[in-house]
Amino acid sequence: MKDATLALHFGYEKDKQKTMQVPIYMTTAYEYEDTDHAARLFDLQEEGNIYTRIGNPTTRVFEKRISALERGIDALATASGMAAIFYSIANLVQSGDNVIISDKLYGGSITLNTQTLKQFGISAKYFNVHTPEKLDELIDEKTKLILIESVANPALTVPDFGKITEIAKKHGVIVICDNTIATPYGIKPVELGVDIVVHSASKYIVGNGSAIAGCIIEAPFAKDKLKTDRYSQFNEPDESYHGLVYNEKFDNPFISRARLALLRDYGAVISPFNSWLLLQGLEHLHLRIKEHSKNALKIAEFLSSHPKINKVNYPLLKSDPNYPYAEKYLKYAGGIVSFEVSDYETAKNIVKKLKIFSLVTNIGDSKSLATHPASTTHQQLSHEELEAAGVPEGLIRLSIGLEDVEDLINDLKEAIEKTN
C-alpha cells in the first residue's frame, strides 16, 4: 500500500463495535485471565496489554502507522518530542560515552546534549553536516551516536545524508535523525541509511497545535549495528528481565529496550487521547505538508525580493546554500522559513506588527506563527552560540500555515515596511 492509504487504514483491526474511528482506550490497566497469564505477560513470553505506561491499544495504532510511513520495523510514542530524543540517546549511551551532534539543531536538543547529559557522564562533540569527512576523526570507540535533523530547526540546514550514513556505517555508529520539519512525506531518512528517526509529533503530525507528543522509529537494519560490542547493553543480559538479551529476543531491539526499560523506568508515556489526536493528524498530513511547503516557497521568494531583508533561508530556494542537498534529498521542505533583518530590535518590532501571524514559539500549526528565536527559544545561548547555531540576533522564524498565501504576504509586507 502507498502512504496515503497506510495513514488512513494501517494497524487498526475493528472490534465487535466496528467503529470507524480508532477507539480511545482511556485506561490505566488491563485485566489478566489469571495469575499465570499475568506472569507470562510480565516475563515477556506472551504479548499483550499490561499497563498503559508500557503500551496502550490506541497508541499502538499510531505507532504502527508512523512506523509504516517512515519504513521502520517498529515505533514507540512518547509524551513529547524531547522525551523521544532523550530516550533514543539514553538507549545507546552509558556513563563515559560520547555523542556527536550537528552544530545546527533544535535549541532543546543542543542543551540536552551539551548540558543535561553531562550529569550522566556523557560528552558531546559538534560536527558540520556539510563537511562530514570530519566524522572520521571525531568517532572513537566510546562514540555511540550521531544526531542530525533532516531540516534543522531553526537553521533549516539539510545534511549531506549520503556521506554521513556511509561514514557512520563504516564505523558501526548509530545515526539518529530528527524528521520533525520535513515529515515522512518530505524525506524518509531510513531509505538513506538512518538507523533511528525521531519526531516532535507536536508539530506537523498533530498538525493544529493541539497536543505535545513524540515518537521514535527503528529502521530494520539498526540491529546490525546494535549487535556489535559498541552497544553491549543490547548483547548482555538485562537483570531487570531475568537475564533477557534484547538482540536475541527481538527483531526490533531498539524499540523493545526503549519501551521495556526506558519507558518503564523514566515513564514519559503519551496519553491515549493524544495518540488519537495524532491519528487524526496523520490522516491528512500528506495534503497539509504539500500546502505548507507550497506557501512557504512563495513567501521565501517574496522575502528574497524585498530590499529590507538581508537574507532568506528556505532549503528549496535556489539561492539557499542548502539547495543542492535539499534538491537531492527532499520532496517537501516543510513550512518553516526564516529571514534576517539588520538587528535584534528591528526583528522584535517586525514580529510585533504582524497581524495574521501569531507570536508563538511553536511550528507546524495550521495557523501561521512567527517567532524571534534570540529573545525566546534560544535565549539561553550566548551571542557566539547563537551565531554557531545559525540563529543570528536579527533572525525571524516563520511557520507558514494554511491560510491564503496572499493574505500572509500582505501581512509580512506591511509589518516590514512599517518598521524602520
Q: Which residues bind ligand PLP (CB under 6 A)?
A: 80-82, 106, 108-109, 149, 153, 178, 180, 200, 202-203, 212, 214, 363
Q: Which is nearer to ligand PLP, 55 or 108 (CB)?
A: 108
Question: Minimum Å distance from CB 81 to ligand PLP?
Answer: 2
Question: Minimum Å distance from CB 369 to ligand PLP?
Answer: 12
Residues in the chain: 420
Question: Minimum Å distance from CB 9 to ligand PLP?
Answer: 26
Question: Minimum Å distance from CB 334 to ligand PLP?
Answer: 10
Give one DSSP letter per residue of 289-334, joined into a string.
HHHHHHHHHHHHHHHHT-TT-SEEE-TTSTTSTTHHHHHHH-S---
Question: Minimum Å distance from CB 210 to ligand PLP?
Answer: 12
Rounded distance, CA 128 to CA 160, Å? 10
- Segments in 342-418 forming alpha helices (H): 344-353, 383-388, 405-417
Task: Give pairs for 291-294: CB < 8 Å, separation 24+.
Answer: 291/402, 292/204, 292/332, 292/334, 292/335, 292/400, 292/401, 292/402, 293/186, 293/332, 293/333, 293/334, 293/335, 294/405
Rounded distance, CA 230 to CA 74, Å? 22
Q: Which is nearer to ligand PLP, 56 or 202 (CB)?
A: 202
Residues 175, 164, 105, 300, CA torsion sign: negative
Instruction: Give me 336's grid cell.
Output: 518553516
> For strand 311-313 and strand 214-218, is the pairing parallel, antiparallel, or unpaired?
unpaired
Q: Give exposure, 231-248, as e/b (b: 16+ Cβ within 10 Å).
A: bebbbeebeebeebebbe
CA nearest to 207, candidates 293, 315, 121, 288: 288
Q: Which is nearer to ligand PLP, 83 or 222 (CB)?
A: 83
Nearest-CB residue for ligand PLP: 81
Q: Which is nearer to ligand PLP, 205 or 347 (CB)?
A: 205
Q: Which is nearer to ligand PLP, 195 or 365 (CB)?
A: 365
Question: Minimum Å distance from CB 336 to ligand PLP?
Answer: 9
Helix (H) or strand (E) holding 359: strand 358-359
- C-alpha dihedral over 376, 378, 384, 387, to 10 degrees? -90
Please, are residues 237 and 24 in contact by the beta-carbon 8 Å criterion?
no
Q: Which is nearer to ligand PLP, 253 or 334 (CB)?
A: 334
Question: Minimum Å distance from CB 219 to ligand PLP?
Answer: 19
Q: Which is nearer to ligand PLP, 66 or 212 (CB)?
A: 212
Query: CA dist 139 to 88, 127, 214, 226, Å?
Result: 19, 11, 28, 16
Instruction: Give me 322's grid cell.
Output: 542548502
Question: Minimum Å distance from CB 179 to ligand PLP?
Answer: 8
Instruction: Give me 225's grid cell.
Output: 549495528
Question: Minimum Å distance from CB 181 to ligand PLP?
Answer: 6
Q: Which is nearer to ligand PLP, 82 or 174 (CB)?
A: 82
CA nearest to 342, candidates 410, 399, 414, 419: 419
Instruction: Give me 315's grid cell.
Output: 532549503
DSSP state, residue 2: -
